Amino acid sequence: MLKGWGQQLRVGVGSHALSLLSVGRWGRKPPQVLAECGYMADEEYAALGTALRGLLQQAGVAGRSLSFVLADELVRLWQVTPPVNAARMADIEAAAALRFHSLYGEAPAAWQLSADWHASQPFYAAAVPRKLLAVLGQACADSGAAMVEVRPHFVALWNRWQGAIGRDAWFGVLHDKLLTLAAIEDGQLRALRPLPVPAGADHYWLGQMVRREALLFNLALPKTVQLCGVLPAPLAKPGAGGKDGMSCVHLDAGVQGSSFSAASLLAWAGSAA
């Protein structure tokens, strides 16, 4: 009989904390926090690696498969417009790398790039530091576990909720005072923007941010912004709207009253239910 049959192990990696969750494969059981710990961030991810190794060894994950969900602060997310008449995969890969460099001023060689590649319409791309991936993989190997998946938080929730996004809606993921906002037009992603969330952020603030992004990218204002994550109280009111009629809908409202830590919510985001 397979060890851990019916359960998945997911690790939430925050900018200063880690959490290990056991999640039912078919959503029949609520997720269970197996272990958590904090760490002091550093450029080489050494403290993260030490903390993760201890976390995994404490939980006894030898022989198990692990999926990771990374806080958006640890990765890079951006929108790519493919070159006109792109004919090869190399063309759109080069476009993604060039856009990455122009946005962040960093050489893409130090980052692992992946994307929802498309040759004829804009798509989103993600990059994870290669050093971070190496640290995660080594900690898993040292603990006898297998690293099977690594996803940024936004990507995990986009994949989970994409089919529920309305035709005239934008999508956002709020976590730990950062809102990753996706501007959508005619069902297609047009822009991605990380926005720091100030204390007391309400519908007026959200409306102002959406209006600014719409003007910047020459897009129509959405009728709805559909959000995931634990929302500040002024944003958590279902269906509330501003003077312009834009409403805010909480897609995963079940997390609002959760006692889970920020790192555990990251891990939970990778679940199918």
Determine, yes or no, domain membership for 227: yes
Please list the ranges in the chain whose pLDDT falls under 70. 1-6, 25-28, 236-245, 270-273
What pLDDT is stored for residue 18 in this prediction? 97
What pLDDT is stored for residue 1 in this prediction? 27
What pLDDT is stored for residue 206 in this prediction? 92
- Same structural domain, 192 and 117: no
Q: CATH number of the domain that 144 lies in?
A: 3.30.420.80
What pLDDT is stored for residue 87 in this prediction? 78
Determine, yes or no, domain membership for 188: yes
Whether 12 and 67 have beta carbons less than 8 Å apart is answered as no
- Same structural domain, 59 and 145: yes
Q: What is d(CA 24, CA 28) in angstroms, rounded to the nearest whole number?
A: 6
- Same structural domain, 52 and 144: yes
- Same structural domain, 172 and 147: no
Determine, yes or no, domain membership for 270: no
Determine, yes or no, domain membership for 109: yes
Domain span at 104: 76-127
- Same structural domain, 175 and 145: no
Phi-psi region of 54 (alpha: psi -120 to 50; beta: other; left: phi over 0): alpha
Give per-residue pLDDT as tens, 156-195. 999 999 999 998 999 999 998 899 999 998 888 888 899 9
Which spans in 63-129 are helix H? 89-104
Give per-residue pLDDT as tens, 226-237. 999 988 888 766
- Same structural domain, 196 and 85: no
* Host H or E run for residue 37: strand 32-38
Determine, yes or no, domain membership for 225: yes
Specify the DSSP class assigned to residue 64: -
Determine, yes or no, domain membership for 112: yes
Q: What is d(CA 61, CA 253) in angstroms, rounded to the nearest whole number?
A: 31
Q: Show Cβ contacts of residue 209 under 8 Å, excluding neighbours closer than 6 positions.
A: 179, 181, 195
Determine, yes or no, domain membership for 212: yes
Q: Side-chain half-sphere of 175: how many Cα atoms within 13 Å?
A: 30
Kindly report the pTM of this predicted structure: 0.90
- Same structural domain, 141 and 33: yes
